[in-house]
Chains A and B, each alone.
Chain A
Amino acid sequence: GAVVSQHPSRVICKSGTSVKIECRSLDFQATTMFWYRQFPKQSLMLMATSNEGSKATYEQGVEKDKFLINHASLTLSTLTVTSAHPEDSSFYICSAGLSTDTQYFGPGTRLTVL
């Protein structure tokens, strides 16, 4: 149990295009999902907290108009990187909470912007 999936696992896009990443909790419902970004040789940095049916809460320094988050159901949250540029190339990871105990993470999505 407690499986979180992400799609796609890897994506390469041209500069200026938008990319959508999906995060799904496969065997449980999650009212809250989190989105992280990880640059090479660095730790995970929280980007935003996504609550089902409401607007996401973004961490300081994260542009909400560039990183669009939608949490339309209890099992799905999406992150759209709009007008992607090479500096947005990174490893994007989501997590979802199970009951009141802990969070479980997806396998991550490697984004490369050319």
Chain B
Amino acid sequence: DAKTTQPPSMDCAEGRAANLPCNHSTISGNEYVYWYRQIHSQGPQYIIHGLKNNETNEMASLIITEDRKSSTLILPHATLRDTAVYYCIATFRGSNYKLTFGKGTLLTVNP
């Protein structure tokens, strides 16, 4: 799996958009970008994934640069419950592929 780099922490005001960056400059052509988050003392929660096109679901949007060397996860209207560690993982698609978790970004949403 390609290595990913994320800032260790970020802050966001409640109600504002949270933009979480991720660098994956060594990503291969058929590796996907997955995002998970982990709220304190809970199991990780799947958010979104994509290959090269931008993706959107009910939780977030994923913007992948044209060269695929970086991406941004966007939470459009952050709430206090979005405070969590967010993990960006580059891996091959498939439920049988193991996920390698880095240190992630601790997003703190402030009132």
Contact = CB atoms under 8 A, between A and B. Distances in A.
Interface of A: 4, 6, 30-32, 34, 36, 43-46, 49, 91, 93, 95-108, 110
A106 B43 contact: yes
A103 to B, nearest CB: 6
B101 A43 contact: yes
B16 interface: no
Contacts of B28: none
Interface string B68-103: 000000000000000000010000011110111111
Given A100-B93, A102-B49, A34 B98 contact: yes
A69 B93 CA distance: 25
Interface of B: 34, 36, 38, 41-46, 49, 87, 93-96, 98-104
Contact of A103 (B99, B102, B104): B99
Nearest to A96: B95
Of the candidates B34, B36, B102, the one having the most CB atoms from chain A within 10 angstroms of its own CB is B36
A49 B103 CA distance: 21
Contacts of B34: 102
Contacts of A45: 101
Contacts of B46: 102-105
A55 to B, nearest CB: 15
Contacts of A105: 36, 43-46
Given A30-B95, A102-B34, 14 more contacts: A43-B102, A45-B101, A46-B98, A46-B100, A49-B98, A91-B41, A95-B43, A95-B44, A100-B93, A100-B95, A101-B94, A103-B46, A105-B44, A105-B45
